Amino acid sequence: MSQVILAEDETQLRGLIAAMLITKGVTVSRAPDGVEALQLVKD
């Protein structure tokens, strides 16, 4: 199974992209910006 961190500042676009990836079996962690995305990597 694949896993990605999706960093996108536009909430609706982030949700749309995440939904598309999830339907393909990808585990998605979402972040509104690069700083929070890096924090997800550290955790």
> Sorting pLDDT into bands at 50, 70 and 90, what band is 5?
very high
Q: Are 6 and 24 in contact (CB under 8 A)?
A: no
| Distance, CA of 14 to chain centre | 7
Q: Which residues have C-beta within 8 Å of that of residue 8, sequence separation ≥ 6?
A: 14, 17, 30, 32
- On the question of pLDDT at 4 being above 90, the answer is yes
Report pLDDT for 37.
97
Q: What is the four-CA torsion angle of 35, 15, 28, 5, rounded to 10 degrees?
A: -20
Reported as a single tens digit per residue, the pLDDT across 22-41 is 999 999 999 999 999 999 99
Report pLDDT for 2.
95
Neighbours of 43 (CB within 10 A): 6
Spatial separation of the C-alpha atoms in residues 1 and 14, rounded to whole Å:
20
- On the question of pLDDT at 43 being above 90, the answer is no
The structure's pTM equals 0.86
